[in-house]
Amino acid sequence: MRVERDGVLGWMVFDHPERRNAISVDMWRQIPEAARELDGDADVRVVLLRGVGDVAFVSGADISEFEETRIGPKAAAYDELNQVAYAAISAIGKPVIAMVHGFCVGGGTAIALSADLRYAADDAQFGVPAAKLGLGYDPHGIATLVGVVGPSAALEVFFTARRFDAREALERRLVNAVLPKAELESHVCDIAIGIAANAPMTLSSVKKIVGELSSDPAERDVAGMQAAVRACFDSDDYQEGIRAFLEKRAPVFRGR
């Protein structure tokens, strides 16, 4: 795993090209650290996920390690590594965008689903081949997929265990848009920079509220949602937004 910064954009980079960016045990362990580093950097307004090379975003977990790491009693510990990694990405308080090209399979699909937005190149292939390996899939991961594509499409993904091309992924709402591969990075960066120009507290409050509304109504943090909204109205950024509108200029938000 590598962390890169480009102005207001922070990148989590999956760098294992010899295995199509399959995630090794060491990489699973590094994901939460990378997520926390970018989340804690006040200069970074948007976090992006990408894979190295032209072949894959993330082709899944590194199956070559499974006989050592995902057999018998070790399987539960391995799955816990996965869940901690996904949760760390989801917990980033800033907008998170997955920029997907090539293979995005198994754990790669789960990584992409941990982001808020997903943009895919026209060569992207998605899938969860759990049924071809005979492994059990964590309920949290299934719930995340169901929340994005709905129960029937989620069952299709798991039952068939096949790969879905970018067009099919768009039809099933797995991705926000599909772009020609040569245009993907510039398109995603343009979107990310546009998002980064908006008020950070508004973005984080909306992200929190959408997350809460996706949970069990009995477990929703209603007070936390209301506090996030009030914090926006009490912020300097809100005053700046009003002044900028009245003065017909672009606002300069500082996240406070």
Residue 56 — left, alpha, or beta (φ > 0 → left; ψ -120 to 50 → alpha)? Answer: beta
Same domain, 191 and 214: no
As beta bridge partners, residue 178 has 120
Place of tokens 């789960």: 110
pLDDT, position 62 = 83
Q: Give the closest residue to 196 by CA, choosing from 6, 32, 31.
A: 6
Is there a single domain that holds both residue 36 and residue 135? Answer: yes
Q: Give burial (CB, 10 Å; 0-12/13-18/19+) of 190.
A: exposed
Can you give the pTM of this predicted structure? Answer: 0.94
Give residue 100's identity as a one-letter amino acid code. V
User: E strands of the chain, at which residues?
Assistant: 2-6, 9-14, 46-51, 56-58, 96-100, 103-105, 117-121, 125-127, 164-165, 177-179
| Residues 110 and 187 occupy one common structural domain | yes
- The reply to whether 180 and 210 lie within a common domain is no
**Average pLDDT rounded to a whole number, residues 197-209:** 97
- pLDDT tens-place string over residues 112-168: 999 999 999 999 999 999 999 898 888 988 999 999 999 999 999 999 999 999 999
Q: For 140, list phi and psi in degrees, rounded to 5.
A: -65, -40
Same structural domain for residues 203 and 105?
A: no
Mean pLDDT across 160-187? 97
Domain assignment of residue 153, given as a range: 2-195
**217 and 147 in one domain?**
no
User: Tokens in use for 196?
Assistant: 């980064």
Same domain, 75 and 158: yes
In a domain, 253, yes or no: no
Q: Which pLDDT score, from 0 to 100, does residue 71 have?
A: 74
Mean pLDDT of 76-97: 93
Would you state the pLDDT for residue 137?
87
Mean pLDDT along residues 2-31: 95
Which has more confidence, 78 or 68? 78
Asked whether the predicted pLDDT for residue 73 surpasses 80, the reply is no
